[in-house]
Structure 1
Amino acid sequence: MKYLVWISRIIVGVLFIISGLIKLNDPMGFSFKLEEYFSPGVLDLPFLTPLALGISIFVVIVEVILGVLLLIGFKPKFTVWSLLLMIVFFTFLTFYSAYFNKVTDCGCFGDAIKLTPWESFTKDVILLVFILILFFGRKYIKPLFNPKTNWIVGGVALLACILFANHVLAHLPSVDFRPYKIGANIQEGMSVPDNAPQPIYEYAWRFKVNGEERIYVTEGDYPTVDGEFVDVETTEVQAGYEPPIHDFTIEQEGQDYASELLEEDKLVMVIAYDLRKTGGLTTGATNEEIEAAQKEIYPELKKTVDRAKQKGYKVIGMSASSSDMANKLTDTYDLDFEFYFTDETTLKTIVRSNPAILMLSKGTIQQKVHYNDFDELTF
């Protein structure tokens, strides 16, 4: 049992630290995932949506700290009970998502490692087994250091997590795992290789033969049956290749200008997925709060945009907000560019800042900055 506890201690501790640090690198992305869980179609907890970012930061820091405490063997009873309660909750959540097909990616490892709902559930079940070993063998968890050193290690880990979270929120994730990272080409990310796997479908054809209903299954061919056709049910049995970038459009009045704009040698994109959430505001922000946030950010954005235009850049805005709201913003701050419509989820994926600026050359992302770092752009 002692050796099982040691093995479990290392596996669980390391996995919790890795998983927590990946999400701590991008707490905004994890908060978007929590908003999915809080939505009416999933857990129906809309009152938690404005708190999603705060909850995400708290959860991922706790995840890292519990991993550290487990590895150094500090406060084993508290640590193991906390791990058990956390994994039981996550196991329920991933099972619920998988069984009812509610959230297709749990976000357990952020954008670094994508897991299907059933893979996430399986991972949590395996972790639950290891944590149960720790729970029943917790008397074998001995501290590596004396109490004073353990307190110092735990305190330093907590402080480092807080400082790191503050840094990535005030700027951008230190490591970008998304397909829109600097150096990526959007057109290439949307392309499908010639030899890419195609989806495979199964067709269940229902016929009435001699007064009885019968089902004939094929992979697409219409079956030769001496009977009356009733209906057909199609099931995808194997997914085909999906390019890393999809659902990317730059629309105006129902027309997609993406292919044209991505050929520009010098293109600046102002990304603002929701103009009502400028500067990190949440759902329910008052008009006064929105105006105050916009007054703080958009005059600086205008200076940056004007510099870009002087250097020969074409500038466009991309938002999922209404055209009326976008037009009001451009008029208020005399912004010399037009807004185009792009799906909100796509914009959130492109950059974790609202607003943000991207610089591109023929579809390749050269620079991307948070609204706190507009002055770092080099034209």
Structure 2
Amino acid sequence: MKYLVHLSRLFTGILFIISGFIKLNDPLGFSYKLVEYFGADVLNLEFLIPYALGISVIVVVFEVVLGVFLLIGYKSKFTVWSLLLMIVFFTFLTFYSAYFDKVKDCGCFGDALKLTPWESFTKDLVLLVLVLILFFGVKYIQPLFSKLPTTVIALLSFITSLWFGYHVLMHLPAIDFRAYAIGNNLPEEMATPENAPKPVLEYTWTFKVNGDEEEFVTNGSYPSVDGEFVGVETETIDEGYVPAIQDFSIESDDEDLTDYFLGKDKLIMVTMYNVKKGEAEGMMKLKAFTEKASKKGYTVIGLSSSGAVDKAQAKAEYGYDFETYLCDEKVVKTIVRANPGVIVLHQGTVVNKAHWNDLDDIEL
């Protein structure tokens, strides 16, 4: 039991630190995932949506700190009880998502590693077993150091986690795992190679044969059945190749301008997923920045999911003169973790991106 506890302690502590750090690197992204869970069609806890960001920071800081506490042996009973309650809750959440097909990606490892709902549930089951080993063998969890160093390390882990979470919220994630990272070419991220694996679909056909309903399974072809057709259901067995970017577009009221703008040599896209929710200080910075960019030969456009009336009001209020085009809200949130944010492109390749706090640091 002693060796099992040591192995479980090491594996669980490291996994909690890695998982927590990845989410702490992008707490805004994790808050978007929490909003999905709080939605009416999942947990129906919509009253928590306004507090999603605060909950996100608390959860991921706690996750990192618990991992550190476990490894150094700080307050072992408190740590193990906290781990048990957390993993029981996460196991329920991932099972609910998987069984009822509610949330396609749990967000356990942010954008660094995508897990299907059932993969997430399996991962949490394994962790639950490990935490139960720790729970029943808590007497074997001893501090690695004396009391003072252990307390100092525990306190530093908490302070460092809080500082890092605040830092990335005020700027951008330190590590960008998304398809819109600096150096990526958006058209290439959107393309599907000619030899890419195709989706595999399974069709279940229902026919009434001699008064009884019978099912016939094919890969798409219409079955040769001497009976009355009732219906057909389709199931995706394998999604095949899925491009990293699927829903990105730049649209006016009349046409899709995605290819046109991504072909520009010097393009700046100002991302505002919702102009009414834009940070006022950041929105006021846009006028000076975009005017400077235009003078240096950049094409400047905005991307937002907001309606025409809201966009016109924001333009009049903050005085910027670039046109804002339509893009899906979830996509705009993904491009830059700021509202507003800026992304600089050259022929579709991302050469820079910034939080509104860092607009003055962009070299044009």
CA distance in 2 between counterparts of 1:210 and 1:144 reads: 75
Separation of aligned partners in 2, 1:166 and 1:211: 67
Query: Which amino acid counterpart does residue 105 of structure 2 have in structure 1?
Result: D
Q: Give the letter for the 2:113 counterpart.
A: I
Change (3 A) 1:65 1:258: same
After superposition, give the CA deviation of every residue in 1:241-262 in whole Å (9 maximum; x if it has no partner).
1100011111111521101110
Q: How far apart are the structure 2 equivalents of 1:244 and 1:180?
A: 9
Deviation, structure 1 residue 228? 2.2
Aligned position for 1:300: 285
Compute the displacement of 1:229 (Å).
2.0
Aligned partner of 1:31 in structure 2 is: 31
Aligned-pair distance for 1:210? 2.5
Matched residue, 1:317 = 302
Aligned to 2:141: 141
Which whole-Å CA distance do the structure 1 matches of 2:72 and 2:125 have between them?
Answer: 24
1:358 to 312, 321, 343: 343
Residue by residue over 1:294-347, the C-alpha shift from the partner in whole angstroms, topping out at 9 and shown as x without a partner, is xx3333211110011001111111001111111111122331211101000001
Contact 1:268 1:357 in 2 (8 A): yes
Runs of 4+, deviation exceeding 6 Å: none
Q: Distance in 2 between matches of 1:67 and 1:254?
A: 53
Match of 2:179 in 1: 179
8 Å Cα contact 2:273-2:339 kept in structure 1: yes
Paired residue secondary structure (1:59) = helix
Secondary structure of 1:197's counterpart equals coil
**Residue equivalent to 1:347:** 332
1:157 is matched by which residue type in structure 2?
Answer: S
How many Å separate the matches in 2 of 1:270 and 1:16? Answer: 35
How big is each residue's C-alpha offset from its partner over 1:103-125, in whole Å with a ceiling of 9 and x where there is no partner? 11110010001100000000000
Aligned to 1:78: 78
Letter of the 1:329 partner, please give it.
A
Partner amino acid, structure 2, of 1:210? N
Q: In structure 1, what residue type is equivalent to 2:270?
A: V
SS in 2 for 1:81: helix
Out of 319, 333, 341, the position equivalent to 1:334 is: 319
Give 3-state SS (helix, strand or coil) of 1:252's partner.
coil
2:206 matched residue in structure 1: 206
Q: Deviations over 1:134-174 (max 9, x none)?
A: 00000111111111111100011111111111110110000
How far apart, CA to CA, are the structure 2 residues paired with 1:8 and 1:146? 22
Contact kept? 1:204, 1:232, Cα under 8 Å: yes
> Is residue 259 from structure 1 mapped to residue 259 from structure 2 by the alignment?
yes
Q: Quick one: distance in 2 between partners of 1:75 and 1:81?
A: 10
Aligned residues: percent identity?
A: 57
Distance 2:186 2:12 in 1: 37
Q: Distance in 1 between matches of 2:56 and 2:170?
A: 16
Q: Which runs of 5+ in 2 are unaligned?
A: none
Q: Select between 123-132 and 226-235 the one with higher mean Cα deviation.
A: 226-235
- 1:19 and 2:19 are equivalent in the alignment: yes
My pick for the range that moved more, 229-238 or 79-88, is 229-238
Structure-1 residue corresponding to 2:363: 378
| Structure 1: distance between partners of 2:86 and 2:168 | 25
Give 1:209 deviation, angstroms.
2.2
List runs of 5+ in structure 1 lacking aligned partners. 280-292
Distance 1:93 1:276 in 2: 32
Contact 1:107 1:114 in 2 (8 A): yes
Q: Distance in 2 between matches of 1:42 and 1:227?
A: 40
Q: Kindly provide the amino acid, as one letter, of the partner of residue 378 in structure 1.
A: E
Kept after mapping to 2: 8 A contact 1:357/1:368: yes
TM-score (norm 1): 0.94
Matched AA of 1:121: F
Report if aligned partners of 1:16, 1:66 keep a CA contact under 8 Å in 2: yes
CA contact (8 A) 2:201 2:238 kept: yes
Question: Matches of residues 24-173 of structure 1 in structure 2 within 5 Å?
Answer: 24-173=24-173
**TM-score for the superposition, normalised by structure 2:** 0.98
How many residues align? The count is 364
CA contact (8 A) 1:323 1:339 kept: no
Calculate the aligned-residue CA RMSD, in Å.
1.0
Aligned to 2:354: 369
